[in-house]
A and B are shown apart, each in its own frame.
Chain A
Amino acid sequence: MSLVFAGICSHAPGITGRAALADPALSGPFYEAFRGMGAALEAARPDALVVVAAEHFANFFMNNMPSFAVGMADRYEGPIEDPAWLGIARTQVPGNARLSGRLIREMMQSVDLAFAEEWKFDHGIMVPLNFLTPRYDLPIVPVNINCQGPPLAPLQRVWAFGEALRRAADALPERIALVGTGGISHWPATPDSGKVNVAWDLEFLDRWQANDRAALLSYTDLDTYRDGGQGGFEIRTFVSIAAAAKGKGAVQHYRPIPIFSVGCTIGTMSIGS
């Protein structure tokens, strides 16, 4: 099999952009866990990293919104945000258009997706790369699941998308790493920012670690919006990783850091069959 690593992580812009406002006693262990995930990723010796993110209008808008999209370029750039605001310098990130193309063709055997030969990264990808591949030396395949512009694809289709990713990764000779980025409950970008529903998050992470398909797919968007806020729609990225990895998860870090606007999460999942 060629899927060699699977994990999940937070991507909130405050993680890098508001680092100076955070209590180091909270942010320090989180950054350490984030870099630890980067070390584990590197130890898996991947040839490419597929990042399943929930972007925030860096590329896709309600004029033509894909539920699922995969990048197919040899280079990407980011962040779109003001670099000083995000705390990450604007840079070019390597891709691999041919590898993307082979992945996309295989995925299309079972799911519909949009492909994109132009793609700009926002904090949804740039914040994770800042910790996971800080030298930007690993080719990235960006993947987006629409979690911002409703209507959103239902979770069972997110699961099917994750399964297609796995099948396509296994069909490649390259060693593929897979990371899903997003939040569990959060109410970002508003005066609610910093609010987190810890009980709801821990219940979700229990389901994710157990890779309990039925329990993961039982969330409705109405329930998620009530209990987890508009940011909770991003559980889609974490659910897709469970569908792809098919193993059991382990959460290395979970703790709300209010100024970062999210329960800061780092998790990995074994590769099952």
Chain B
Amino acid sequence: MSLYQLQKFLFDINRDPATQRQYRDGLDALLERYDLTDEERGAIATRDLGLIYVLGANGQLVMHYAAFLGVPWPEYIAALRAGIVKYGQVRAGVYTMTTRLDEKVAGV
């Protein structure tokens, strides 16, 4: 159920300018709206895209969130790989990683 809440946060912030302003004005107050685990809250607070990915958030939500954060594409891909190295394979959902860690599929 909590993964649903994590994804709901991503859904809201990716599409809603008011939520984006709240994110910048005070993250703690914004996150009060979601029933998150400490791990999920920490992943958002530290901008740990790799952990958000490993927790099972839909890749499209993670990708658009990274765009909102201004993370360039090669760094985004590197962050997800780093997440796999640190936390292990994706724990839920359909966006599991199927390529090797050293396999730069598209050159990044």
Contact = CB atoms under 8 A, between A and B. Distances in A.
A120 B15 CA distance: 8
A13 B107 CA distance: 17
A80 B64 contact: yes
A123 B94 CA distance: 20
A258 B77 CA distance: 13
Interface residues of B, number: 33
Given A57-B64, A62-B7, A195-B98, A149 B58 contact: yes
Given A80-B15, A82-B68, A57 B61 contact: yes
A122 B15 CA distance: 9
Contact of B62 (A21, A189, A192): A189
Contacts of A191: 77, 80-81, 84, 97, 99, 101, 105
Nearest to A257: B106
Contact of A193 (B4, B53, B68, B106): B106
Given A188-B63, A190-B53, A58 B15 contact: yes
A95 to B, nearest CB: 18
Contact of A230 (B67, B94, B106, B108): B94
A187 interface: yes
Contacts of B14: 57-58, 80-81
Contacts of B8: 61-63
Interface string B63-83: 110011010010001001100
A91 interface: no
Which A-B residue pairs are the 3 nearest by beta carbons? A194-B106, A189-B59, A56-B60
